[in-house]
Structures are given as structure tokens and as C-alpha cells.
Amino acid sequence: MRIALCSSYVPFVNGAGRFIVEWLDQKLREHGHQVESIYLPFSDDPRHLLSQMTAFRSVTIDGVDRVICFRPPSYLVRHPNKVLWFLHHFRGFYDLWNTHAGPPHTRYYENLRRTIFRADGVGLNEARGVFTNSRVVQRRLKTFNNVDSSVLYPPLFDPTIYANAGYGEEVVYVSRVVPHKRQHLLLEAMAHTKTAVRARICGVGDVGGTYAEELLRLASEIGVSERVSIENRWISEDEKRDIIGRSLAVAYFPIDEDSYGYSSLEGAHSCKPLITTTDSGGVLEFVSHERNGLVCDPDAKAIAKSLDRLYSDRKLVEDLGCEANRTIEKLRINWDSVIHHLLA
């Protein structure tokens, strides 16, 4: 089959939205398909949304059997056999509209919001199939667009590289270092721990971001610098495998995440328990309290208790980590399942 993968991307920013396209491209080729990946650059500035939507709508893709679309507004491209692996809306105009993260409710933005809703309605309803990366996104599609979809969980590119190398003293947080991932919660929790547990935060921040510098200042101010490592740089897959493989557990505290996040899978494939928060969104589709991880209130003292609990009870750590690994199979998170559904 000749397949085009179509998405938007932010230049010089790597993350889940980029990986899912690149990884699917290679896996489809391994299954014998011809694949082209088509990207258009994307800007988060709301003033540019209309021109970007128009650019995608102006694209008609010929000579392929199927088009698979991902990040908005890529699903506006024209093709009679279009399938969506829908990752998220323009959230500022949807679920974040009435929050501080949304744009001001001026006449301009209210009109823009109506335009986005109308355009999304066209693009979404043209698709012959709609899949989402989580139940959270599935519910948003139904609530805001009245579009039915099926959940299709994204796997890691090569989960076989991850393995358990024992349970050390560090709880690790490997992710983009940006405010909505809330790495600061781990630092604040470390100030309340009573055991010798350590923490490691590693990952690169957004271009021009200052959050990593704020974390370094915070660690110094609250007196945890000697027990916390903060590495603001790109972490390779080999490094990630080693860091997580030797860790005690994996932390992941995003606020209202669209999906479970690759951090959850990396920890689970390494048989590590996962620590998250009650407001982490799609992460809670994977992590269940005291089954394959610990779910805490987004509060430093509550998180500290969980850190100390894991440090003090290695049998609990092993039991939760093994169940996290089994959860991957239970949810059928693998590339054969993904390709079967997207090409059905």
C-alpha cells in the first residue's frame, strides 16, 4: 500500500507528536508498505492559525492509497481515504478556553474559535476512520465535535531496548523540561522526604525556555541540590535505558496530559513502578494506584510520602513494576495492533 503520513511540527522541537509519525513511518516500511511523511511547520501563535489551516486545506494528496493525519490542523488535507490518529485539539480554543491557558475572550478570538470549530467539523467528518491516543482525547472529540472514535495507544519505537537493571535509590523524571510537565513537584517533594531517596530530572527544555533554570534555583533555595540531579539536555535512547533501568521508580506529573506519555511506557517496559498525580489526565489510563504504581495528590508532601514508601519497601517496588510491565500487554500496546487498525 502507498501511504502518506501528514502532520504539523514545531521546528527544532522533538517530542511525542513528532516521534509517533517517524516511528510509524519506519514500522510501516518494515511491514512492506511505501511511505511518505509530509510535514508543514506549525506556530503556537493563535494569529497564525487561520493561515496554517488554509495551507493544509489547500493540499490535495494524489497517488497514494491512504493518508494518515496526526497533529492539528493536518487533518484538513483532502483525500478520499483519510484516517486520523488524532492527538489533540487546538486546546486553547477547546477544553482550555475558559482557563488562564486559553486566549482572551475578545471578539477576534471568539470568531476565530467558531472558525476553528467549523473547520475541524469538516476535516474530522471527512475521515473514514478516527482513532485517538487516549480516552481523554476520545471524550473531548465526542464532547466538542460529536465525533466517535476508537482509542489506539501509541507504543515505543523499540521497547526491547528497555530492561530492569535492579532497583537503585533514584526516582527519575525523564521528559521535556517544561512547566506543564511540573518537574518542580518532584523537587518540592524531596524537601519533605525522610529517607535517603534521591531524584534525577533530565531532558531538554523548549527553545528559549527558562524552566530548567528555575528548577536549578528552586533546588538550591529549598536545600535539595545534593540529593537531586538536574540535566537540561537531550537524553539519548541508550542513556534513557540505563537511567531508567537502574532507577527505583519513574515519576511523571504532567497536568491533564493528552495521553499516558512515553515516560509511562519506558518505565513499564523496565519493570519500574510509576508515580503520578490525580490530575495527570491520560496518564491515569495506564497507572492505577497500588496496582502498577502510586497516584498522589499534586502536593509535595503527598508525593514525598510515596517516594519514601517506595524507598522503604522494595518488595512493593518490584510487585508494582512487574504489574506495570504486564499492563502493556493487557492494553495491547504494540505496533502490529496499531498498523492493523490504521490500515483496516
Whether residue 168 is found in the same domain as residue 216: yes
Helix (H) or strand (E) holding 172: strand 170-174
- Give the C-alpha separation, 191 to 294, whole Å: 19
Asked whether residue 260 is domain-assigned, the answer is: yes
Residues 187 and 297 in one domain: yes
End position of a domain, from candidates 100, 129, 152 = 152
CATH of the domain at 67: 3.40.50
Q: Is residue 339, in this structure, part of any structural domain at all? A: no
Task: Assess whether 175 and 39 both reside in one domain.
Answer: no
Predicted confidence pLDDT, tens digits, the chain (344 residues): 999 999 998 877 777 788 999 999 999 999 999 999 999 988 878 889 999 999 999 998 999 999 999 999 999 999 999 999 999 999 999 999 999 888 999 999 999 999 999 999 999 999 999 999 999 999 999 999 999 999 999 999 999 999 999 999 999 999 999 999 999 999 999 999 999 999 999 998 876 679 999 999 999 999 999 999 999 988 888 999 999 999 999 999 999 999 999 999 999 999 999 999 999 999 999 999 999 999 999 999 999 999 999 999 999 999 999 999 999 999 999 999 999 999 99
Q: Which own/partner pairs from 339-342 qualify as long-range (CB within 8 Å, at least 24 positions apart)? A: 339/24, 339/27, 339/28, 339/31, 341/129, 341/131, 341/150, 341/152, 342/24, 342/68, 342/83, 342/85, 342/129, 342/131, 342/152
At 159 the pLDDT is 94
Residue with cell 501563535: 45
- How far out from the chain centre does Cα 65 lie? 29
**Is 137 found in the same domain as 67?**
yes
Among 86, 81, 40, smallest CA distance to 63 is for 81
Question: Cell 474559535 sits at which residue?
Answer: 113
To the nearest 10°, report the CA torsion of 329, 332, 334, 337.
150
The pLDDT value given to residue 215 = 96
Residue 187, in any domain of the structure: yes
pTM of the model: 0.90
Residues in the chain: 344
In the prediction, which pLDDT does 44 show? 77
Same domain, 137 and 182: no
Q: Which long-range contacts (CB under 8 A, 24 or more apart) does 143-150 make?
A: 144/89, 144/94, 144/95, 144/117, 145/117, 145/120, 145/121, 149/84, 149/86, 150/341
With CA atoms as reference, report the closest residue to 87 among 143, 15, 36, 29. 15
In terms of domains, do 182 and 325 share one?
Answer: yes
Give the pLDDT score at 79: 95
**Given this model, what pLDDT does residue 162 score?**
95
178: its cell numbers: 517544561
Query: Which are the contacts of 306, defined by CB distance < 8 A and separation ≥ 6?
Result: 275, 294, 296
Q: Are 64 and 4 in contact (CB under 8 A)?
A: yes
Residues 31 and 119 in one domain: yes
* Cβ within 8 Å of residue 87, ≥6 positions away: 16, 17, 20, 70, 71, 132, 133, 137, 258, 259
pLDDT at position 15, please? 73
Instruction: Please give the residue range of the domain that contains residue 50.
Output: 2-152
Starting at the edge strand that comes first in sequence, how are the strands of the sheet with 34-41 ordered?
34-41, 2-9, 66-69, 82-86, 129-132, 150-151
* 327 close to 273: Cβ distance less than 8 angstroms: no
Helix ranges (H only) for 10-106 are 16-30, 49-57
Give residue 149's identity as a one-letter amino acid code: S
The answer as to whether 342 is a domain residue is no
Decide if 343 is inside a domain: no
Bond prior to 273 in cis (omega within 30° of 0): no
Provide the angle, in degrees to the nearest 10, between the axes of the packed helices 107-126 and 135-145.
110
Do residues 248 and 313 share a domain? yes
Cell numbers for 78: 483532502
pLDDT of residue 207: 66
